[in-house]
Structure 1
């Protein structure tokens, strides 16, 4: 006789709303020379035109999509002041995103966002 195993239904087995809600973002960078760069980023699975979409999604997940809390990564940058304004608009895990900030240069934007704005 085979044992009977009762299954338990948990929220984890249903998938949490945060894990299943869509992420679709437009990231832009505009510097003082007039250079504009724009990429798309979607997560679960990571895709879009962002050159490192996998790691960008992982970084965003680590701060629950709060762009103001993006961690720094250790990277040497020049002290040349060439401001770059970055924006992120769209949806992260079902929550509206409208973020804007300015970094001293493109390298600082990459380092200051752990690669999210490294394009």
Structure 2
């Protein structure tokens, strides 16, 4: 019974983090008009993401460590420490989180200390829900690049 309560509590924590971040991003989640120098209005597809890193094998059972927000249009922003680099990396892979690559030349130790990353929100007007577990923080850096470098 204790395990069930812990699992429910962790799921509630992830839900609260996502809900709070998406509330903060709500204005960015709609198509944002921008006036060009010619006076014409330019619309952007909504981009608003909540990215998390947690200790554990799955997001449902993991302990959250960090969470940031990332918006990429009309300009990079959010609480991510390097939004320009993260947005550039996502654009380079057309928003395919599974195609992200970091420093693949770096050798990693083979100690299993799993970290699970998640991305939820909207990318180029499409709903995104991504989860992936890495064996340790070195593997995360090697394979996920600047998007999950926070």
Aligned length: 104
Alignment TM-score, normalising by the size of structure 1 = 0.76
**Counterpart-to-counterpart distance in 1, 2:47 and 2:91:** 10
Q: Match of 2:71?
A: 42
Structure 1: tracts of 5 or more residues without a match = 1-12
Structure 2: tracts of 5 or more residues without a match = 1-39, 57-61
Alignment TM-score, normalising by the size of structure 2 = 0.62
Structure possessing the higher radius of gyration over alpha carbons: 1
Give 1:49 shift.
Answer: 0.9
Name the structure with the higher strand share: 1
Calculate the aligned-residue CA RMSD, in Å.
Answer: 2.2
User: 1:114 aligned to 2:145?
Assistant: yes
Q: Match of 2:34?
A: none
Asked whether the 8 Å contact 1:110–1:116 carries over to 2, the reply is no
C-alpha distance after superposition, 1:19-66 (max 9, x if no partner): x21210000111149452100000121111111111000000001001
C-alpha distance after superposition, 1:46-97 (max 9, x if no partner): 1111111110000000010011111232444433321001100000010110
Give 1:107 shift.
Answer: 2.7
**Counterpart-to-counterpart distance in 1, 2:145 and 2:95:** 13
Bigger relative contact order (CA 8 A; separation at least 6): 1
Name the structure with the higher helix share: 2
